Amino acid sequence: MLGWALTFLVIALIAGIFGFGGIASASAGIAQILFFVFLVLFIVAMVARAVRGRPPT
C-alpha cells in the first residue's frame, strides 16, 4: 500500500514538472488517500498486536 502511494507521488511530481496539472493533481490526491489508508491500517495492526500481548519484533 505504501509502495502504491509512493508510486502515485512520483507520478504527480513528474507530471507537475512537465506541466500536466490535471494529472498531477489527480495523482497527488490518490497518493494522499493511499498514504492515510496505510497509516490507519498500520495503527490498527499495532493496537491489535498490543492487545494480544505480543511485543513488537
The model's pTM is 0.65
Look at residue 41 and tell me if it is in a domain.
yes
Look at residue 36 and tell me if it is in a domain.
yes
Residue 55 has pLDDT above 80, yes or no: no
DSSP state letter for 20: -
**Residues counted in the chain:** 57
Q: State the average pLDDT for the chain.
A: 82
- Alpha helices by DSSP H, the chain: 2-18, 21-52
Segment 37-41 shows an average pLDDT of 90
Reported as a single tens digit per residue, the pLDDT across 10-36 is 888 888 888 877 887 888 888 888 889
Q: Provide the domain limits for residue 27.
A: 2-52
Look at residue 57 and tell me if it is in a domain.
no
User: Taking the alpha carbons of 37, 41, 47, 50 in that order, is the dihedral positive or negative?
Assistant: negative
CA-CA distance, 45 to 57, in Å (whole number)?
13
